[in-house]
């Protein structure tokens, strides 16, 4: 592993000239589509259950090509990369739909259009199952080589791509994500699922989000943004109404069965040191300086086990979600990494 500097890595920059725009703004526009995969041959899930006719809702951006940039979303994210990652997505940015064919699909088990709780009926999933669906989607789209980029649960999916399909992945970017869930992260998820089980129907999901939000922010971040009294409820600490509001917001857009299925998949996720050592693909691993969920030292220690990795740290006081909320320097670094050429 090297600290991230281009001259030291086996990578050279491409000049802007070598990267003319590859498609028109119209071609680069977001396209939301739905497809049914595994109609003839079912997907054999890790739990042993065959799953047929898997519906996948996905976005594509840019002109279809054999080499794609796959973005894998976080726990409550969606395929609409342009909505949740505006700092990294757009013309001239790291994820540029005028330069690359960008694909993002809603994960299996989620609640944004891809087969989820209704079809799965309590079947446990793994991240490998989710990634297998993405791989089939890319196959049907005619993609032969892929660069995979993701943060948090999206970053864990990138690790799974590197384990399951090493020959397809040209390079990868893993942001604020571990190669296996720590007891700390499993414990946080367990408390969240227990809240849902004890108060099904919405209230538990709100509490789960409140617990999660504390792990997505940091003491310093909340000190900066939530000190003092709430403007919404005089006499009440600001952070109280902040957490209540965050819980309400998630309960309006997410479903509790998906929350349990996806967090359980994260908790079961585990790459061994030997598996990490076997990954030859160039990977940029990003740690977040104030991340209390996946501390940067932990993220860096996984990067150190990848033979062709570079490590870079996003310095922000805002904790785990800094990759979404405080991401200007992340955009610059990921853009530099993705627009570099693999050297001889
Ligand atoms: C942008 C989207 O598409 S989100 C939907 C899809 N979701 C995803 O893709 C998942 C990834 N995204 C996320 O997790 C989140 O959207 C994040 C992390 C990027 C940003 O979360 P936010 O809630 O916007 O950030 P933040 O922590 O600053 O909270 C701001 C909100 O809390 C409210 N708020 C702030 N302080 C308080 C308080 N003391 N009391 C009550 N409400 C408060 C603000 O008014 C604001 O409300 P709004 O969302 O209605 O504008
Ligand atoms: N805040 C993001 C990242 C969590 O890891 C989400 O809700 O998906």
For strand 54-61 and strand 31-37, is the pairing parallel, antiparallel, or unpaired?
antiparallel
Quick check: 18 pLDDT over 60?
no
123 lines ligand 1 (CB under 6 A): no
Tokens 């050279």 belong to 12
Q: Please say if the pLDDT value at position 15 is more than 60.
A: no
Residues shown for the chain = 344
pLDDT tens string 210-235:
999 999 999 999 999 999 999 999 99
For residue 149, pLDDT over 70 is answered with yes
* Percentage of the chain lying above the pLDDT 90 cut: 90
Q: Is 209 annotated as a binding residue?
A: yes
Half-sphere exposure of 121 (CA within 13 A, CB side): 4
Distance between CA 327 and CA 11 in Å, rounded? 23
Q: Is 229 in the pocket of ligand 1 (CB under 6 A)?
A: no
Atom 3 in ligand 2: residue holding the nearest Cα: 74
Per-residue pLDDT tens over the stretch 74-97 = 999 999 999 999 999 999 999 999
**Average of per-residue pLDDT across 154-162:** 99
The two tokens of residue 339 are: 């627009």
Give the 3-state secondary structure of residue 148: strand
* Residues 318-328: tens digit of each pLDDT: 999 999 999 99
Give the global pTM: 0.93
Q: Which of 280, 301, 292, 318 is nearest to 178 (CA)?
A: 301
Which residue matches tokens 């802007």?
16
Answer positive or negative: Cα dihedral of 328, 87, 69, 179.
positive
Q: Write the ipTM.
A: 0.94
- Nearest atom (ligand 2) to Cα of 176: 5
> Whose atoms come closest to the Cα of 233: which ligand?
1
CA separation for the pair 188, 55 (Å, rounded): 30
Closest CA to 185 of 163, 205, 156: 156
- Catalytic residue numbers, as ranges: 152, 291, 320
- Expressed in angstroms and rounded, the spacing between residue 320 Cα and the centre of ligand 2 is 8
Pocket test for ligand 1, best of 245, 247, 249, 262 (most atoms within 8 A of CB): 245
Q: Is the confidence at residue 2, as pLDDT, over 90?
A: no
Nearest to 130 by CA among 102, 165, 98, 176: 165
Q: Which of 28-32, 179-183, 294-298 has the lowest mean pLDDT?
A: 28-32
**Matching residue, tokens 């809702």:** 57
Per-residue pLDDT reduced to its tens digit, 264-292? 999 999 999 999 999 999 999 999 999 99
Whether pLDDT at 6 is above 50: no
Q: Which pLDDT score is estimated for 9?
A: 33
Instruction: State residue 344's pLDDT score.
Output: 37
CA dist list (Å): 299 to 158, 265, 275: 14, 19, 16
Largest CA distance in the chain: 64
């Amino acid at each position: 592993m090297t600290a991230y500097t281009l001259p030291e890595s086996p990578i050279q920059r491409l000049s802007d000239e070598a990267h003319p725009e590859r498609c028109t703004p119209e071609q680069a526009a977001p396209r939301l589509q739905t497809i049914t995969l595994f109609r003839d041959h079912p997907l054999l899930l890790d739990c042993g259950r065959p799953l047929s006719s898997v519906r996948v809702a996905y976005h594509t951006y840019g002109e279809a090509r054999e080499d794609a940039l796959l973005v894998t979303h976080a726990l409550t994210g969606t395929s609409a990369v342009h909505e949740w990652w505006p700092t990294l997505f757009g013309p001239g940015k790291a994820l540029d739909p005028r330069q690359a064919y960008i694909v993002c699909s809603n994960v299996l088990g989620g609640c944004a259009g891809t087969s989820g709780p209704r079809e799965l009926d309590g079947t446990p999933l793994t991240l490998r199952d989710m990634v297998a669906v993405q791989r089939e989607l890319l196959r049907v789209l005619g993609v032969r080589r892929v660069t995979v980029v993701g943060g948090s649960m999206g970053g864990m999916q990138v690790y799974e791509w590197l384990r399951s399909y090493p020959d397809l992945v040209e390079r990868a970017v893993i942001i604020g994500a571990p190669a296996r869930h720590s007891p700390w992260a499993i414990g946080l998820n367990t408390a969240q699922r227990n809240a849902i089980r004890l108060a099904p129907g919405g209230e538990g999901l709100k509490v789960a989000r409140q617990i999660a939000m504390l792990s997505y922010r940091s003491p310093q971040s909340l000190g900066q943004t939530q000190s003092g009294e709430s403007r919404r409820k005089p006499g009440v600490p600001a952070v109280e109404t902040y957490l209540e509001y965050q819980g309400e917001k998630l309960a309006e857009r997410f479903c509790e069965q998906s929350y349990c299925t996806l967090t359980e998949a994260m908790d079961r996720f585990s790459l061994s040191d030997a598996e990490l050592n076997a990954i030859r693909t160039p990977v940029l691993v990003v740690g977040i300086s104030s991340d209390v969920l996946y501390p940067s030292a932990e993220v860096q220690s996984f990067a150190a086990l990848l033979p062709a990795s570079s490590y870079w740290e996003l310095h922000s006081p805002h904790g785990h979600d800094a990759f979404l909320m405080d991401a200007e320097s992340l955009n610059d670094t990921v853009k530099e990494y993705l627009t570099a050429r693999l050297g001889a």
